[in-house]
Structure 1
Amino acid sequence: MSRNELTHPADPINGRTLMNLKAVLESYLGGGEVRDLDLALLMNVPLNRLSQLKRAKSSIHTVGRSGDTSDSGDSRADEEEAELPGIRPSQAILVRLLLKRPDLVPIPLRPSSTEVFELLQPFINSIEEAQATRPGVKSGFAPLFGRSYISSYKMLSEGSAGIQNAGLPVARLQLLVVGKYADCFKEQLRGFAAKAGVVPSYVKDTLRRHSGWALLREKDSLTDWMDDEAYVLFESKVRETFGEWFNKSYLAILRDEAKSRDLDPVDAIVKGKWVNNELVTDDKLQRYNRFCRPILGRHDSLFSLFRESFGLTSAEAYWVLGLQVKAFYRFRQRPQQRVDAPTAILLRYLFRHPEDIKFLMAEPMAGNQILELVKVEDSNFKLGQLAPLFGASRVMSYEFANPDTPCPFFARRLAMVFKVGIGAGMPVYQLVRESVEDEVQARGLDLEQFWRDGRWHK
């Protein structure tokens, strides 16, 4: 039986295959195009190396000719300096996996700005600062994400493209808000389902498999088993729990950000007057309390410390903040100026609530945990096969399985996929193994020999 070349490429994965992946993911994710920032995240490479990667051959054709280090899987090499002459095995495995199962992509499903507005509309009406000055509910949308009120109309008139055209930091803030709403929805639905006793099987299955917008877009079908009285009570509970977070946590961040910019919170949160380009001297910086300290471009600011503080790679940090490399260095070159409002709001929130980065970026699953779960499913699986399963050499298995070492660089993205897939009850080990074996065979390697010695190159 012939295979679909799009989802099961016969040749080793190369840079051109990334364009196929881009098309597949755009169809699945929604919310506009899949950008280079997204592909750089998935390939776990600095954004400025992605253009080279798009032209790259498979590492099976380059190892030994250009200094490629992918066979060693050395996580100690500085990612910024590592050469990328070929598509590494770990990247090839991920591409094959996502071509077949885009639902495993470690990027949240993206709603449109209109869909986010519909969730927030009841809460925009009740913002304390807006009671005496609200010119209109729609105009109050963009200011919640650090933009002017005029931007609301543009964001809400562009459908699925609005979330990205408003700027990627705004898109990340919207994903954060939607992720929190989905958490409240999931918590309440589980409680109602437990009390009801008998609920449709798809409800429990969907609650296990989905989060964020992937869950909320199914909310009608997930609640159609409730009678009217139960549904009204359920909706009120969801709004109550989300409203508490929105008012006590999210709006508190907005108020502190406004104060950090020497702005009236009413002007900022209601009218979207977030801009203050004045320089902040060292003396002035010391006058702010720790909750309202401006986030500047200087080397010791939350902006500059974000990546290290959260243990992210450069590709991950840029993606979470929604920043291009040029924007990052533009902020860094202005050490006494505030970073733009959406970025500052996102940083301020994440440093105050670091656990909520999960709504943007999954944490890689620990290698020892993966090994334990795989061995339950496959009793013949050996420790030395762990790193080859993730695209590295056999010797790297021991570091990867060590619970006292961080997730190696080569394994981070697939380890995220494992965590998401296992949490959702998917047969992720079998799916990854199939992708590994497809790539091994496409490279012209003997499958039995590969599982014995873990070598990805001839």
Structure 2
Amino acid sequence: MQQSRSRQSRSELTHPSAPISGNTLMNLKLVLESVVGDGEVRDLDLAMLLNVPVNRLGRLKKAGAPAGAAETPDPDDEQDDAVAATIRPNQAILVRLLLKHPEYAPLTMRPGNAEMFELIAPLMPGTGSNGKMVGKQGYAPLFGRSYVSSYKMLAEAESTSLPVVRLQLLIVGRLGEMFRELCLAKVQQAAKKVPDYVLQSLKHDAGWQLLRARDSLTDWMPDVVFEEFSAELLRQWRTWFNECYLNVLRDEALSRDLDPDKVLLKGNWTNRKNVEPADLQNYDRATQPILGCEDSLFSIFRESFGLTSAEAFWALGLQVKAFYRFRQRARQRIDAPSALLVRYLFRYPDDIRHIIPAPPSGESILQTIQQDDPAFRTSQLGPMFGASRVMSYEFAADQHSSPFFARRLATIYAEQKRRGQPIYSQLRECVEDELKARGLDSREFWRDGRWNPSVSCS
């Protein structure tokens, strides 16, 4: 009897029979924490997943009765209190999908600090040609922190700040790409068959998910090939780390009127002096200070990268209070980890994909769905992703991105389709589950596309 109750409770946890409400979000948090690398899912993560401003998430957690579908794409939910206070169908479908498949959540896996240090120690400033490693004190300065923080970070004695985590994601993302490309080159040159698990991992995995398995992914290489591979990989890693990442750090130090070599050694990044408009002529384009004022790179980050506010806060690893604290200190430099992140991303904008993937085009989503289900109609696309039927055509016609309501679901859909998962049937099942929970007739829904039958849908 006890086992039966346990199975029932687990089923209700991941397959709720009632419509998705604010209470379900806490269940989602627990389920996600069971699969996320560092075991912690923050409000910032939930806000990004649900694509709502993080300062509205508290109200969403208290949401009761479900809302109907959006009739028009909302630019950012920031002017509509009703949206933030109710669970929309697109959010309900997303929550159901992630409760069943938490591994689909686009919360990028990252290494712990000890693993990160082991990975980048051969690349750090001061590492000699003989491979002798630098001391641990040089670790934290690479992320805009003081050298004394290195020991706390490496001992995991304190939680790593989110801007630092984002910098780490950039590093493992780029190193992982180089590992994959070089490994694939060796696969093509291999004299014997390469194990299937290696081919699958190289095809599907990225970042830390790939790098943490690098030993097993190179086991098949003969010793001579592995030595050649390792030497070339280290050369590529060092070139990128020195010419790209460290150059960003050096320019950030110069923007703070600091000696780059001393900063990389000791991590004394702080400079709280005001930077007046007349002072900016003292810096070249690469070393302009990143301030809190409205025309700074920090302030235009969201618009420049085409992100929603929830995505921008998540990408920068910033809580709302920290963001507005920087903005209030308009003539001061923002904190070093955040400045490094902003400076790097504006210099290498394509690398934001290692933090938050860009949504696929609506056109491509419709094409992949109709490959799986040739009977699927364009008019069903909006309802499938939690919007009204009238939204289907604008969604399907978009050749560059996805509309607001579909950004997260479309991103997950495209990624899992790429990985060979039966995402169409899984997503459709979640839609059916929410329809049943809301007491809506499935046949009428797929015919008429109405999440709110009391409202006429042309």
Q: Indicate whether 1:41 and 2:36 are aligned.
A: no
Q: Secondary structure at the match of 1:303?
A: coil
Within the candidate set 285, 290, 298, 2:293 is matched to 298
Aligned residues: 442
Q: Deviations over 1:360-418 (max 9, x none)?
A: 00110110111011111110000001111111011100111123575211011111112
Measured in 2, the distance between the counterparts of 1:238 and 1:386 equals 44
Equivalent residue number for residue 154 of structure 1? 152
Cα contact 1:209–1:425 (8 A) shared by 2: no
Measured in 1, the distance between the counterparts of 2:400 and 2:220 equals 47
Measured in 2, the distance between the counterparts of 1:302 and 1:169 equals 16
Q: What are structure 2's unaligned runs of at least 5 residues?
A: 1-6, 454-458
Equivalent residue number for residue 57 of structure 1? 64
Change (3 A) 1:136 1:304: same
Measured in 2, the distance between the counterparts of 1:158 and 1:396 equals 47
Cα contact 2:360–2:401 (8 A) shared by 1: no
Equivalent residue number for residue 66 of structure 1? none
Cα contact 1:365–1:418 (8 A) shared by 2: no
Q: Deviations over 1:277-306 (max 9, x none)?
A: 000011101221000000000100000000
Measured in 1, the distance between the counterparts of 2:126 and 2:375 equals 59
Within the candidate set 30, 35, 41, 1:28 is matched to 35
Within the candidate set 353, 357, 360, 1:362 is matched to 357
Equivalent residue number for residue 456 of structure 2? none
Cα contact 2:146–2:267 (8 A) shared by 1: yes
Equivalent residue number for residue 103 of structure 2? 103
| Deviation for aligned residue 1:112 | 0.8
Equivalent residue number for residue 91 of structure 2? 91
Measured in 1, the distance between the counterparts of 2:105 and 2:324 equals 28
Q: What are structure 1's unaligned runs of at least 5 residues?
A: 64-69
Measured in 2, the distance between the counterparts of 1:58 and 1:235 equals 57
Equivalent residue number for residue 271 of structure 1? 266
Within the candidate set 219, 227, 239, 1:224 is matched to 219
Within the candidate set 277, 280, 283, 1:285 is matched to 280
Measured in 1, the distance between the counterparts of 2:75 and 2:290 equals 31
Q: Indicate whether 1:422 and 2:420 are aligned.
A: no
Kindly provide the amino acid, as one letter, of the partner of residue 14 in structure 1.
S
Q: Indicate whether 1:179 and 2:173 are aligned.
A: yes
Measured in 2, the distance between the counterparts of 1:58 and 1:361 equals 31
Relative to the length of structure 2, the TM-score reads 0.92
Measured in 2, the distance between the counterparts of 1:172 and 1:118 equals 18
> CA RMSD for the aligned pairs?
2.1
Within the candidate set 57, 72, 75, 1:74 is matched to 72
Q: Deviations over 1:186-242 (max 9, x none)?
A: 111111111115111111111222111122222222222223222222222222212
Cα contact 1:58–1:88 (8 A) shared by 2: no
Q: Secondary structure at the match of 1:107?
A: coil
| Deviation for aligned residue 1:78 | 4.6
Relative to the length of structure 1, the TM-score reads 0.92
Measured in 2, the distance between the counterparts of 1:177 and 1:311 equals 22
Kindly provide the amino acid, as one letter, of the partner of residue 274 in structure 1.
W
Equivalent residue number for residue 18 of structure 2? 11
| Deviation for aligned residue 1:321 | 0.4
Cα contact 1:331–1:339 (8 A) shared by 2: yes
Q: Secondary structure at the match of 2:57?
A: helix
Give the share of equivalent positions with the same residue, in percent: 54
